[in-house]
Amino acid sequence: MTSRSRIAVAALVLLAVLGTVVLLAFAGNACAGDLPGEPCPDAGTNRAVVVSLAAMTAGVAVTPFALLAEFAVRRRIIYRGAWGRAIRRGVLVGAVVAAVAGLRLGGALSVPVALFVISLAAATEWIALRRFDLP
């Protein structure tokens, strides 16, 4: 692993921690819905921001650990395309978080639907591994 990869992994972990802090600060201070004594005109926007921040933070947090997992599995060698696979996995996790949170906010989330979203992401990764990452 080169020093550039180490720095990138550390930067992504720190960015994920920063994203978590921003998410917690925003979610703690923003109104989520109308209360009997306090109307909240921006409730929909606040929910969308929280879902977006959660999806982005999850994707950024998964990316360095996906690279490190591949580094460990491949006998401490980073092959060409490892960063691309790690980024793809981070994007998939972010998309799953956004989809599940959006379904939850819309009132359409159930266990079968959540399992379908997760299995769809797993199938997408499986197909991408066979299609794009051939040796």
CA angle 77, 132, 97 (to 5 degrees): 85
CA angle 123, 128, 134 (to 5 degrees): 135
pLDDT for the residue numbered 32 = 74
Residues in the chain: 135
pTM equals 0.85
> CA distances (Å), 26 to each of 19, 36, 50, 51, in order?
10, 22, 7, 11
Reading the chain (135 residues) residue by residue, the pLDDT tens digits are: 788 889 999 999 999 999 999 999 998 888 877 677 778 888 888 889 999 999 999 999 999 999 999 888 888 777 788 888 999 999 999 999 999 999 999 999 999 999 999 999 999 999 998 888 765
